[in-house]
Structure 1
Amino acid sequence: MMKECSFQASKKQCLTALSSAMLLVIPFSVLSAPANVKTVVNRSESPKFGAEELLLPYIFSTDSMGVNIGVGTMISGYGQEQMTIGGTVYGGDVSYGIGAGVWNYKLPKTERFFLSVQGFLGYYPEQKAYAGGGLDYIPANTALPGSNDSSNEDFLQADGSSNWWDIKLEYTLPIGATRDSGEVTYELTRGLLTSAPTGGEIWNPLESGATVAILRQFNRYESYEFEDSLLDGTIHAVELGLLYDNTDFSVNPSMGSSQYLSISHDAGWFDSENEWTFIQFEASKYFSFGSSDYASQRILALNFWTGYSPTWELEYNNLGARKVVNGAPYSEGATLGGFYRMRGYDNKRFHDKASIYGTAEYRYTFKNNPIENINWLKFLRLDWFQLVGFVEAGRVGESYTADELLTDLKFDYGLSLRALTAGIVVRLDVAQSEEGTNAWVMVDHPF
């Protein structure tokens, strides 16, 4: 029997935490804010002319996937200074994955248009989805799967595929720090900014920081292979957004702020069954406390994010049971849990019509680099280690009201070890919540 999954199941990566170790070597930046400042990073420790290259074999193991072995590679600055090319492949007894991408390719005969294309094909045993509220009517006295009051035991689980590909076009506005060029250049020594900051001192898009407009088309397919049926779902959506990054160093900010506003829409094209719309807003603020005896940087980083799906509705039957119609998919809409928001909870653990989220991180960058003089590790181009403590709070709800979203919030806390390697931040986060402990290995700061 074949059934199609109306909740439009999809994930950006596999659901188990450490299986994302493959991302250590390729900047799948779509997992964070889709738009970013176009940067050229020059390390004083690297040759003045030449690309940054990294080739890294890796191994990881999870309860569901077993042992997997893979290799990843990236090269930045080859052909175009701001462009990055990367790829990875891994495999185990059942699971496998292969991904590749090109980021920030400047279109010929243009100064401000940048194209990025990336994709991933993967097969995972026992992948989870805290979803199903759009499949069947849920009794009135039962929480919708993935809602704020739902059980963490209420999920779909089966072997299956999770495939996606994105294409995005970005335009750097000719104002502020990018008035004369589509990208900004940072000079680093030991991973710290030595050139002039691109923003942070005044909030004025016309004078400071970089403003980037984005048009993104993204596609997801996911399947769940149960013994007697197949659930699968597809999305083909478009996102239009605007980023204003007014930080001193967008890769590792120590002062300033950033804001991102976007709207996403799936018109039910091709084999995508549902029509939905989702609006999101994100803001971050950074405060520097300078250096100390053991730290080169001490930074307080704050982040706020909220999202709303105006098309999301509940449909009732004659018994009062309800199901979700025209809602943004659980992996793309008002969703919390996983790599970037509410890290103490499973990936995409909570989702609903609306969401709110806030976090604070204290980032302590060590002066001492214990591997700096180890010759056989110099290929990592590792400039610093950073210890981070963080707390998070968030909630999803059926309405966008203070009574709904500011009561019964979920909380977690944790520690993170981060490093700047070849101009890219990588991190290992460990977070604790009321539902357990999670560990995540990922590229880039969460904000």
Structure 2
Amino acid sequence: MQLYKTALVTYCVIYSGWAFAQTQPIQSLMSEDTIVSVDIAGDDKQTTSTSVELEKNKQAKNSADSYDAEFVAVPIIFSTETLSTTIGGAGVIKHAGQAQAVALGIGLYSANDSWLSYAGFYNYQIPKLDQWLFSAELFRGHYEQGIYYLPQANTETETERIISVGDEGFSKLHIKYVLPMAGGANGAAASLARKKNAISWNPLESGVTSITLTPFNKYRELETLDYLPDEANGIELALDWDNRDSMNNSSEGGQTNLTLTLGSEVSDNPSWFMWEFEQSAFMSLGSNGWFEEQVLAANVYIADTPSWNSFDGDSQSYQRPPTFAGVSLGGFDRLRGYDSKQFTGRSAVNYALEYRMTPRWQPLQNLPVFNLYDVPWWQWALLIEAGNVTDEFSLDDLHKDMKTSYGVSVRFEVEDIVIRSDFVTGGDESQFWVMINQPF
């Protein structure tokens, strides 16, 4: 078993929500869904119709400049067998110009001359557009020994492992409209706070329903395979119903998401269309003498590319996305026992089940460095996953010869941001991931 070990030279790597120190190749350190999840403290009292206007007036008084910005900067130092020593830094600003806004920056440089940079600006508002939130992300990376997986010509599901000099990046603008009902009745900024209200499975009464439009540009250039498509432009439309009781540590409710992606024509590569559906659910198992909270968390993901077999006469090629922009499994969110985007194709299905335990014993707050920050809880988890990728959208085929992953995880919240470390076995290798946010 080959395990890419990370040497955590400093505690800062562990507690930094921005140390994307995944121990496989550095090109996977950044997620294309990197938006930071910050659980803003909410009022435990239920919101009634008579309190809506009072809440809006209160928010108007607490304008953006009445909140002092909070800045934290941390060094990042880690080492992998592929990268050798990597150093850098990260900084985050809470209340970055507006009460609900967050700004994040990361820069890393490795001994083999690989580097990456990331900047994100989240949850900004334009005056008088109370139901809207705007976010932007920009990522650039260069890898001297990038590891990539490409489909083999004579097989449908097998991929070939390639090591190449690579350049990757993406830019995204997220335009989010929060529907003015249930948890969104007080405006988009107020919807970021989770109130411990009774969970209802009626979106008119519970949760936050939103529609997000995301124009994007992605690119990947491989030195040894310069004939491959290297750019993808398009737009995503996502309908989301977030009915969880907490963004960071859900114990009840669930989340439903449908994302439609339309890729535009780029150079000689035709347009393409893809959809993804994801459903999460959480059930509290109560507490006992050892654990303050026990939760069973489940997730189902299914995706397809309907344009896969459509032939474009002008470009003389099929309307399929580049592998780096299409359907995939493997990485720090789905099928975590395998490398990032190890399996690519037309369609995918993935099932995940986690048993999450919050111990009553909490030693982290008293450890050196940790005691400088607010660490309200830590969590243990057992996890198992099963998934598959095929070149036909067939439920029978998707459920044949499924890949499985199983492992353990330790997670904790630091200054409202969740850090998770997953050790997962699947296939011929095991993976160790350090990442921000819960996987679902």
Same fold per superposition (TM over 0.5): yes
Contact 2:35-2:122 within 8 A present in 1 as well = no
Q: How is 1:179-218 mapped onto 2 (pairs within 5 angstroms)?
A: 179-184=185-190, 196-198=195-197, 201-218=199-216
| Counterpart residue identity of residue 262, structure 1 | T
Deviations 1:393-436 (A, max 9, x none): 00111222222111111111011110101111111111001221
Out of 238, 243, 248, the position equivalent to 1:246 is 243
Cα distance change of structure 1 residues 416 and 272 upon mapping to structure 2, 3 Å threshold: farther
Contact 2:270-2:317 within 8 A present in 1 as well = no
Cα distance change of structure 1 residues 377 and 34 upon mapping to structure 2, 3 Å threshold: closer
Deviations 1:30-89 (A, max 9, x none): 94768898863379xxxx964444322111112222110111111222432221101011
**Unpaired stretches in structure 1, ≥5 consecutive residues:** 1-15, 188-194, 316-322
The structural deviation recorded for 1:155 is 2.6
Cα distance change of structure 1 residues 216 and 186 upon mapping to structure 2, 3 Å threshold: closer
- Which residue in 2 is equivalent to 1:260? 257
Distance in 2 (alpha carbons) for counterparts of 1:362 and 1:413: 12
Work out whether 1:116 is the aligned partner of 2:135. Answer: yes
Give TM-score, length-normalised by structure 2: 0.82
Cα distance change of structure 1 residues 272 and 260 upon mapping to structure 2, 3 Å threshold: farther
Q: How is 1:112-191 mapped onto 2 (pairs within 5 angstroms)?
A: 112-132=131-151, 138=153, 142-144=154-156, 147=157, 150=158, 154-184=160-190
Cα distance change of structure 1 residues 388 and 359 upon mapping to structure 2, 3 Å threshold: same
Out of 368, 387, 390, the position equivalent to 1:394 is 387
Contact 2:269-2:317 within 8 A present in 1 as well = no
The structural deviation recorded for 1:17 is 9.0
Contact 2:38-2:417 within 8 A present in 1 as well = no
Contact 2:203-2:209 within 8 A present in 1 as well = yes
Give TM-score, length-normalised by structure 1: 0.81
| Counterpart residue identity of residue 25, structure 1 | G
Distance in 1 (alpha carbons) for counterparts of 2:432 and 2:268: 33
- Which residue in 1 is equivalent to 2:370? 377
Out of 99, 104, 119, the position equivalent to 1:86 is 104
The structural deviation recorded for 1:111 is 0.6
**Unpaired stretches in structure 2, ≥5 consecutive residues:** 21-28, 44-65
Work out whether 1:346 is the aligned partner of 2:339. Answer: yes
Query: CA-atom RMSD, angstroms?
Result: 3.1
Count of paired positions: 398
Distance in 1 (alpha carbons) for counterparts of 2:99 and 2:380: 30
Q: How is 1:305-324 mapped onto 2 (pairs within 5 angstroms)?
A: 305-313=301-309
| Counterpart residue identity of residue 220, structure 1 | K
Work out whether 1:65 is the aligned partner of 2:64. Answer: no
Cα distance change of structure 1 residues 27 and 364 upon mapping to structure 2, 3 Å threshold: same
Cα distance change of structure 1 residues 247 and 224 upon mapping to structure 2, 3 Å threshold: same
- Which residue in 2 is equivalent to 1:25? 17
The structural deviation recorded for 1:219 is 1.2
Out of 119, 123, 126, the position equivalent to 1:107 is 126
The structural deviation recorded for 1:368 is 2.3
Contact 2:39-2:417 within 8 A present in 1 as well = no
Q: Which stretch of the first structure deviates more once superposed, 100-109 or 437-446?
A: 100-109
Distance in 2 (alpha carbons) for counterparts of 1:237 and 1:23: 35
Distance in 2 (alpha carbons) for counterparts of 1:362 and 1:356: 21
The structural deviation recorded for 1:298 is 0.7
| Counterpart residue identity of residue 167, structure 1 | L
Out of 221, 228, 240, the position equivalent to 1:223 is 221
Contact 1:308-1:333 within 8 A present in 2 as well = no
- Which residue in 2 is equivalent to 1:406? 399
Out of 400, 403, 424, the position equivalent to 1:431 is 424
Distance in 2 (alpha carbons) for counterparts of 1:26 and 1:272: 37
Q: How is 1:412-423 mapped onto 2 (pairs within 5 angstroms)?
A: 412-423=405-416
Out of 295, 304, 310, the position equivalent to 2:291 is 295
| Counterpart residue identity of residue 309, structure 2 | E
Deviations 1:171-208 (A, max 9, x none): 11101111122234788xxxxxxx8425x621111111
The structural deviation recorded for 1:332 is 3.1
Deviations 1:235-293 (A, max 9, x none): 11200011001111122211001100010011114x58331110010000000112222
Contact 2:338-2:426 within 8 A present in 1 as well = yes
2:370 is paired with a residue whose SS is helix
- Which residue in 1 is equivalent to 2:58? none
Contact 1:257-1:285 within 8 A present in 2 as well = yes
Deviations 1:6-29 (A, max 9, x none): xxxxxxxxxx89699699434999
| Counterpart residue identity of residue 283, structure 2 | F
1:183 is paired with a residue whose SS is helix
- Which residue in 2 is equivalent to 1:13? none
| Counterpart residue identity of residue 144, structure 2 | P
Q: Which stretch of the first structure deviates more once superposed, 415-424 or 228-237?
A: 228-237
Cα distance change of structure 1 residues 395 and 23 upon mapping to structure 2, 3 Å threshold: farther
- Which residue in 1 is equivalent to 2:361? 368
Distance in 2 (alpha carbons) for counterparts of 1:293 and 1:342: 33
Distance in 1 (alpha carbons) for counterparts of 2:372 and 2:93: 12
Cα distance change of structure 1 residues 425 and 239 upon mapping to structure 2, 3 Å threshold: same
Contact 1:157-1:224 within 8 A present in 2 as well = no
Structure 1 or 2: more helix by fraction = 2
